[in-house]
Amino acid sequence: MASKPDDPYEHPYPAPDLAARHPFVALEPRRYPEDEMRARARAFHETADRRRSVRMFSPEPVPRDLVETAVMAASTAPSGAHKQPWTFVAVSDSHLKSRIRVAAEEEERKNYLENRMNAEWQEALAPLGTDHHKEYLEVAPWIVVLFEQRYEVRPDGTTRTNYYVKESVGIAAGLFVAALHDMGLATLPHTPSPMAFLRTLLGRPANERPFVMFPVGHALDGAQVPDLRRKPLAEIFVEVTDDPVV
């Protein structure tokens, strides 16, 4: 499609030859009045600001379809070359959750008690009061392990490169947390390091590597969380202009 006189794009997307070779569809964006945009933005921030990482879960069951819906929401994340290089592995079996806990606690015991985490790291964690005990891995009704697909394996056994894997999987992880929080469930991004035991316990292929583990469920009645503050906007947002520096 040729540019209109007032079109700011000299090279419109998609180019005609690209559209002739690959399918494209018209985007149907939602547009809101500015006042409604601000109201929606405030409402989303207020919801997101109530999110906390939970370490005391209720054993109350959570329907599988809620976890599946959160995974589908996470899978709307943008990814390098649209490779979607992630696998969400869900576990509700009590025996397997117990084995995951034992293996995770063994790695965390080395971290906390055998100085695999240096003093600075442990000092940073001190206000959270975390240690090598991870009982919630057995109590929470679900454990969801997010694996990154380091490369793609085709049906014939050949492989293809995935691109920007960690960036893509990290965005998907954030959307998964947001989806769970929005439906009223709690979670905790847990990364026992190293995590190779998860690939063995869960029988995942060689191209997959554990990225983060999420216990998923309802917070236990009366559960407490650290009284922490989030950085204000002035500490995390900077607008850069090309004005000369004085």
CB 178 within 8 A of CB 77: no
147: left (phi over 0), alpha (psi -120 to 50) or beta: beta
pLDDT in tens, 102-152: 999 999 999 998 988 898 989 999 988 899 999 999 999 999 999 999 999
Domain span at 118: 56-220
As for how many domains the chain has, the answer is: 1
CA 201 to chain centre: 21
Rounding to the nearest 10 degrees, give the CA dihedral for residues 198, 213, 85, 207.
Answer: -10
Measured CA to CA, the distance from residue 133 to residue 130 in angstroms comes to 8
pLDDT in tens, 143-199: 999 999 999 999 999 999 999 999 999 999 999 999 999 999 999 999 998 999 999
Q: Is residue 18 part of a domain?
A: no
Q: Is residue 201 part of a domain?
A: yes
CB 96 within 8 A of CB 201: yes
Q: Is residue 6 part of a domain?
A: no
Q: Is residue 62 part of a domain?
A: yes
Q: Is residue 243 part of a domain?
A: no
The CATH code of the domain that includes 156 is 3.40.109.10
Q: Is residue 234 part of a domain?
A: no
What percent of the chain is modeled with pLDDT above 90? 86
Cα→Cα distances 1→4, 6, 20, 32, 179, Å: 9, 14, 12, 27, 38
